[in-house]
Amino acid sequence: MLNYFLKRFLGVIPTLLIVAVLVFLFVHLLPGDPARLAAGPEADQTTVELVRRDLGLDKPLPE
């Protein structure tokens, strides 16, 4: 029984890693501005900049 749960748990780790990488790639590589989408269509540039900073989108990828 322990062997079964261990195999299932170890099988979940690669799945979670793949999902995390895909979400990261979708956010950073798809066209459009995630900050603009999060702020809404009526947001001014200042609000978009604040959302961009809050989401960490103003930092380079390696950071």
pLDDT at 54: 93
What is the average pLDDT score of the chain?
89
Residue 59 has pLDDT above 80, yes or no: yes
Q: Smallest Cα–Cα separation from 45: which of 55, 32, 35?
A: 35
**Predicted local distance difference test score (pLDDT) of residue 63:** 63
Strand runs labelled E in the chain = none
Residue extents of the structural domains in the chain? 1-30, 32-63
Q: Which of 29, 34, 25 is nearest to 54 (CA)?
A: 34
Please state whether 56 falls in left (phi above 0), alpha (psi between -120 and 50) or beta: left
Kindly state the average pLDDT of the residues 8-13: 93
Q: Which two tokens stand for residue 57?
A: 């989108």
- Tens of pLDDT, residue by residue over 12-34, are 999 999 999 999 888 778 888 88
